[in-house]
């Protein structure tokens, strides 16, 4: 849920940051500021707002997931050569059509890499959800720490690490499926 929400919010913010330079600096600075807050502190800040349980555990990865997607979208869109933009404009494409048909497909590799980073961050941050009563793979980690039992710690840590590796692999597959072969070869 947190990754999907981060994509829905961060993609338009990244587009806005690429379109409006001055406002873009503010958007990137705000997303960067959220990223600098330690994850445990962010979870604690969420408790008075969202209570104990699932909601803070969803909100923290959402907030951490914004910066990679916003920045990757911004970088991907601003890296498109001006000549391509001018050509699309000369063809009579509306700004929305240029974005949808030219710019987003050309920036797709960068955008996908930002979403990938956000997804891996979400997996790592989600284990901390146990600290606010959300359970998950973080629960055996906390129990193992309290009992000083490495095997219980690994019951939560190993699946969380495998999940992060699985997410990484899935995004590499997504890149092959959704990013044009020519764009993959260009880098």
List of domains in the chain: 2-186 (1.10.3720.10)
Model's pTM, two decimal places? Answer: 0.84
178 by Cβ neighbours in 10 Å (0-12 / 13-18 / 19+) ranks as exposed
Cα separation, 76 vs 164, in Å, equals 24
For residue 26, what pLDDT is reported? 93
Which of 84-88, 118-122, 157-161, 180-184 has the weakest average pLDDT? Answer: 180-184
The average pLDDT across 114-124 equals: 90
The C-alpha atoms of residue 161 and residue 127 are separated, in whole angstroms, by 10
- Tokens standing for residue 161: 């690490």
Dist. CA 145–CA 128, nearest whole Å? 13
- Look at residue 40 in the predicted model and tell me its pLDDT: 82
pLDDT, tens digit (0-9, with 9 covering 90-100), for 50-67: 888 888 888 888 998 999
Name the helix (H) or strand (E) containing 5.
helix 2-19
């Amino acid at each position: 849920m947190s990754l999907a929400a981060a994509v829905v919010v961060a993609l338009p913010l990244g587009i806005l940051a690429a379109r409006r330079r001055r406002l873009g600096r503010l958007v990137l600075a705000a997303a960067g500021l959220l990223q600098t807050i330690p994850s445990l502190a962010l979870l604690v800040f969420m408790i008075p707002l969202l209570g104990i349980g699932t909601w803070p555990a969803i909100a923290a990865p959402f907030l951490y997931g914004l910066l990679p997607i916003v920045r990757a979208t911004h970088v991907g869109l601003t890296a498109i050569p001006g000549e391509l933009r001018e050509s699309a404009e000369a063809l009579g494409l509306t700004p929305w059509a240029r974005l949808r048909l030219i710019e987003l497909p050309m920036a797709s590799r960068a955008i996908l890499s930002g979403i990938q980073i956000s997804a891996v961050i979400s997996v790592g941050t989600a284990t901390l959800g146990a600290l606010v009563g959300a359970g998950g793979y973080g629960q055996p980690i906390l129990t193992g720490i309290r009992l000083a039992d490495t095997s219980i710690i690994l019951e939560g840590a190993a699946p969380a690490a495998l999940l992060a590796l699985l997410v990484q692999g899935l995004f590499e597959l997504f890149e092959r499926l959704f990013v044009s072969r020519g764009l993959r070869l260009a880098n």
